[in-house]
Amino acid sequence: MDKPINRRQWLTRMGTSGVAGGLALAGADSAAANPLTKPSSFQSSIIAESEVMANRASPSIVDGKVIQPARELSVLHETDVLVVGGGPAGICAAIAAKRAGADVTLVERYGHFGGLWTGGLVLLIIGHIVEGKKQVCQGIGEEMMRRLDKLDGAIVDRRAGVAPTVDAEAVKYLMVEMIEEAGVKVFLHCWGVDAVVNGNDVKGAVFESKSGRQVVLAKNVIDATGDGDLLAAAGAEYQRRSHNVGLVSRIGNLDRVDHKRAKGARKPKHLGRHTPVPGVNWVNMHGPEVDGLDVEVLTRMEMNHRKFIWRNMQKTRSTPGYEKVYLVETAPQLGVRMTRVLKGVKTVTLDDLRKKTTFPDSIGVGGSSAGDHQQWQIPYGTLVPEKVDNLLAAGRCISAEMRMGDLVRLIPNCFVTGQAAGVAGAVAVNDGCRVRDVDIDKVRKILRRQEAYLG
């Protein structure tokens, strides 16, 4: 085996063992604090089962139907603003709400923050630059990018008018740091599965985790799941859309391609674009247009894409000059682009973009992925469901016309809507009103104080 691979592997191993070590230490801390743990002479200890799991009642088959008995759910936590989903929108929402003076809880399905940005390996931040070099995404999104600037090897191409590319691990690390600094209560490995609803009022959300089915009660809930899981669960109206579902991967040793030998041969496809790690590219994948909420479809996508990525790598390696290129990793998360979209009080439309419509309740400005494209204002109403109360959408599931979907779902636009939803949630809590009745001028004022750009 080649030396550089060895070196890389060594580095990778060091990295993972470091993280593992850290987790082990954290585990030891919590184990010491846990009264259920009894010391033992073995390496592991016997732990008493929690009440949640002990009290669960399994579904049974009644008249040929599987019936789940009604039961009381344990309340894990109570909070002002509950943010479901820790992707770009969720992180910005949580930090913004906390900074605006609310007690905030963030719940994330995976073991890391960043959603598709990190777990989906969508490393390119695109859609925040308009009309040449103007950057419309400011606020917490820009703050994150600035902090990434200071980390070694975390972000490249941070020049005016250029879309930067980040390192996923750096972003995951930075988000932990920022969430902890802000003082947001976090639950990882928690999958938001249902909403707690009284009439039209959302009162919290139900989570499934290794600890069982539990509830976080909140005054306001922000759905930053991307898929709009909470919107659907709470009974808000939405539209279900299909889009391309792919699987991103990273490939390495591109700096060791022998271009002399590669001359004349057909350049392999799917080589991707550069990342902050030298010689490593991230390879985007479109995949077919499917329903990203169908578990069978998702399963098929995951398996097909893995097969393709591996086989394509073999093809690449059989190209003269490309023998040393290798597959670093596939993304932990499937690249689901668009699923549910809220039917909000207002909707962003392509017409408004073209007419450059300005909104008095603009809570941010979105950009487009293409060079010299216009900016468009995002009205607050796009986050607010028509019927359901105490619930806000943030990220790619905000109310947007079909044609705007590909612009709304871009990472910087998720930063923008996330931050706005967070501030609005906090203002509603502090003023004791419903999120739809929130004083929008106050929200805009706080957003401006948080350095957001509102157009």
Partner 1 sequence: MNKPTDTQIDGKTGRERRRKYARNAVRAAMLVAAALLLSASGEWRLAVIVPAASPLTTVTSLLATRMFQLASLVGLSVAAITLIRHRLFCRWACPTGTCAECCSMLNRRRLWRPKLPRVGQWVALLTLGGAAIGYPVVAWLDPLAIFSGSFGVLHSATSPRAAWYALGLATVLVLSVVWPGLWCSSLCPLGAFQDLLFRLNLAIRRVMFGKRKRSKKRATVGLSRRVVLASLAGVALAAMARGVRSAAGRVLRPPGAVDEERFTGLCTRCGNCLRACPANIIRPATAEHGISGLLTPELDFTDDYCREDCVRCSQVCPSGAIETISREEKATVSIGLPQVDMDLCLLGDDRDCFLCRSMCPYEAITLEFCEEEYTLTPRIDAAKCPGCGACQTACPTAPKKAIVIVPTVAARE
| Smallest separation, CB 372 to partner 1 (Å) | 8
Which of residues 105 and 339 has its CB atom nearest to partner 1 in the complex? 339
- 149, burial (CB in 10 Å: exposed 0-12, middle 13-18, buried 19+): exposed
| Smallest separation, CB 376 to partner 1 (Å) | 13
DSSP β-ladder status, 165-166 and 74-84: unpaired
146 is a site residue for partner 1 (CB under 8 A): no
364 is a site residue for partner 1 (CB under 8 A): no
Whole-angstrom Cα distance, residue 403 to residue 400? 8
Rg (CA), the chain: 23
Which of residues 37 and 244 has its CB atom nearest to partner 1 in the complex? 244
Question: Interface residues for partner 1 in 110-139 (CB under 8 A)?
Answer: 126
Side-chain half-sphere of 376: how many Cα atoms within 13 Å? 24
371 is a site residue for partner 1 (CB under 8 A): yes
Whole-angstrom Cα distance, residue 193 to residue 306? 27
The residues, any chain, with a CB within 8 Å of residue 62's CB and separated by 6 or more, are none
- Considering only 165, 253, 275, 284, the residue that binds partner 1 (CB under 8 A) is 284
Residue-wise over 216-231: b if at least 16 C-beta within 10 A, else e?
Answer: bbbbbbbbbbbbbbbb
11 is a site residue for partner 1 (CB under 8 A): no
Question: Interface residues for partner 1 in 316-345 (CB under 8 A)?
Answer: 337
Cβ–Cβ < 8 Å for 351, 402: no
Cβ–Cβ < 8 Å for 363, 383: yes
∠ CA 248-250-254, nearest 5°, is 140
Cβ–Cβ < 8 Å for 243, 292: yes
DSSP β-ladder status, 238-240 and 340-342: antiparallel
101 is a site residue for partner 1 (CB under 8 A): no
Can you read off the two tokens belonging to residue 383? 């986050």
Q: Where are the alpha helices (DSSP H) in 151-249?
A: 168-182, 229-234
Question: Interface residues for partner 1 in 211-270 (CB under 8 A)?
Answer: 244, 269-270
Whole-angstrom Cα distance, residue 246 to residue 281? 16
Which of residues 200 and 369 has its CB atom nearest to partner 1 in the complex? 369
- Binding region for partner 1 (CB under 8 A) out of 98-106, 277-285, 359-367, 387-395: 277-285
Q: How far is C-alpha 308 from the geometric centre of its chain's CA atoms?
A: 25
- Binding region for partner 1 (CB under 8 A) out of 11-19, 39-47, 363-371, 388-396: 363-371
- Binding region for partner 1 (CB under 8 A) out of 2-10, 145-153, 211-219, 369-377: 369-377
Which of residues 203 and 250 has its CB atom nearest to partner 1 in the complex? 250
- Binding region for partner 1 (CB under 8 A) out of 90-98, 192-200, 227-235, 399-407: 399-407
- Considering only 316, 368, 382, 399, the residue that binds partner 1 (CB under 8 A) is 368
- Considering only 220, 225, 275, 312, the residue that binds partner 1 (CB under 8 A) is 312
Whole-angstrom Cα distance, residue 10 to residue 340? 42
- Binding region for partner 1 (CB under 8 A) out of 103-111, 226-234, 278-286, 294-302: 278-286
| Smallest separation, CB 254 to partner 1 (Å) | 14
Can you read off the two tokens belonging to residue 91? 């992180």
Cβ–Cβ < 8 Å for 148, 275: no
Residues in the chain: 455
165 is a site residue for partner 1 (CB under 8 A): no
Which of residues 135 and 312 has its CB atom nearest to partner 1 in the complex? 312
- Binding region for partner 1 (CB under 8 A) out of 54-62, 214-222, 283-291, 413-421: 283-291
| Smallest separation, CB 360 to partner 1 (Å) | 27
| Smallest separation, CB 308 to partner 1 (Å) | 5
- Binding region for partner 1 (CB under 8 A) out of 49-57, 339-347, 367-375, 392-400: 367-375
| Number of residues forming the site for partner 1 (CB under 8 A) | 27
Q: Measure the N-to-C terminal CA separation of the chain; round to a whole number of Å.
A: 55
- Binding region for partner 1 (CB under 8 A) out of 32-40, 154-162, 386-394, 403-411: 403-411
Can you read off the two tokens belonging to residue 104? 């905030």
- Considering only 74, 176, 185, 308, the residue that binds partner 1 (CB under 8 A) is 308
Binding site for partner 1 (CB under 8 A): 126, 244, 269-270, 272-273, 283-289, 308, 312, 337, 350, 368-371, 373, 403-407
